[in-house]
Structure 1
Amino acid sequence: MNSALPSPDDMFLLGGELPVRRLGYGTAQLTGPGYWGPRGDRADAVAVLRAAVDAGVTLIDTADNYGPELAEELVAEALHPYREEVVIATKGGVVRTGDSAWHVAGRPEELRAMCEASLRRLRTDRIDLYQLHRLDPRVPMDEQLGALEGLRQEGKIRYIGLDTLTAEQLEQALSLTGIVSVQNRFHLLDRASDAVLKMCEAHGLAFLPWFPLANGALTGDTAAALDAVADGHGATRGQIALAWLLHRSPVLCPTPGTGSAVHLAENLGARDIRLTTEDMSRLEALAPA
């Protein structure tokens, strides 16, 4: 029987207490290729950020190395002073020296300095969600998380999140300090982090899937299957890919990015799509064997 699924919950309680709308906005696309330098006119970037919040987005996801520094500066320029309902998430732990040069930097003194710099750029006394962008294999995890816990106890960050880790690493991290979110790659064509997702569900953690639109891979046979579902809803492929995430798990909080107001409106339209059991079966089958 092909029946409409229940409407997915629009809200998630970050840390069990801070409400955010599950479909957020990511700032990476406000920077140039390789997340390096500017992309287009600064005023346009500011306008898109403001449009996102005006359209009801409450979770803004950024990082100190997008630009680098530029994305955080744009967030502050567009949105400061922040509305009460807006939650700013940023990341530290990676240093950029070029458009294809990423260097993990997880020593406690490095993480503290990066967090302090983000506070200044974002023009805030406390970052709502500070995410370790990558675990540094050269530094014990307890030292990296200990630095973030120290910043949390000082009131400089409210919550701690992690980016790109295995289920085993998440289990270890949870034994060391309070974690409220994970950000791993996860989309229609990549379910490699399904074990991490299940752990997030079990522990009530937000899962912010990066590349939620599959980074341009929704083509070929995948596109045909998506079109079959999209046509039934008067939607686009991207909207269906986002709607699938919202239906797939109540902890998934995708933050697709764009520098276009038109594309922003399209992405946010995914909130209104109600997939059916048949839709979900077709979409679930798209994952590579």
Structure 2
Amino acid sequence: MSADVQQATVKVRTVLLPADERPAPAGPISSSITYGWRALLKIKHIPEQLFDVTIFPVMMTVMFSTIFGGALAGDISGYIQWLIPGVFVQTLVMITMYTGITLNRDISKGVFDRFRSLPVWRPSQLVGALLGDQVRYTIAGVIILAVGFLMGFRPAGGFAGVAVSFVLLLVFSFCLSWVWTMVALIMRTEQAAMGVSMFILMPLTFVSNIFVDPRTMPDWLQAFVDVNPVSVIVGSMRDMMSGVYDAGSIGLVLVYCAVLVAIFGPISMFIYNRKN
């Protein structure tokens, strides 16, 4: 390249992008929100992604209440008061699994290889994807509550109890999603990621207090149920929807959330930074 051409190139660059007017790099919050918006745009262009948060909640609520209601509580209306907080948690916890599956799909297509070359806060690519999924969780939760109200669910804690418990569950779902993020980064295919996720989710959701009172279980099984984080969040939500705010129960949920992020967040980023 000749000296004249080099000088012209430098001059054009100076005119188009002066050094003192260069945009500041995106910060952690703005970059995370941008990636979260990307996740929402994917739903807009592929609306069938909402199948799991629209049909699945209705199916779970109606199916379990009608199948187990008469056998466990004598009637559906009585059982629905116990079931809705539990199936609320079960549905959102199950949906968090698809966060990892979607992430695995993006990685396999090479999308995240391009993201990692951008001058942004590195965790924002994962945090943004998890934030975008909060919208999906919210949609699923609203549908469950609507179906529950139609079937006779009447929480004694009123709107305040439902709203506070909903927010707590969204926080827990966000933190739990880091587990599936790690799984997605380790597994090489979507099928493998789904298989491992289901293997973990099945005992967490079914060996819990979602469907039945743990006091009817063997002592050795009750010990697992009592420390199961899903049981802890279900118990806390039942209390709040009944108008009881137990600081110890809520605090334990937040401790579980902090532990999940503290363990699986750094592991996910370590794997992500070194993934080819």
State the TM bucket, normalised to the shorter chain.
under 0.3
Q: Which structure dedicates a bigger proportion of its chain to helix?
A: 2
Choose between structure 1 and 2: higher strand proportion. 1
Q: TM-score, normalised by structure 2?
A: 0.24
Identify which of structures 1 and 2 has the higher relative contact order when contacts are C-alpha pairs closer than 8 Å and 6+ apart: 2
TM-score by length of structure 1 reads 0.23
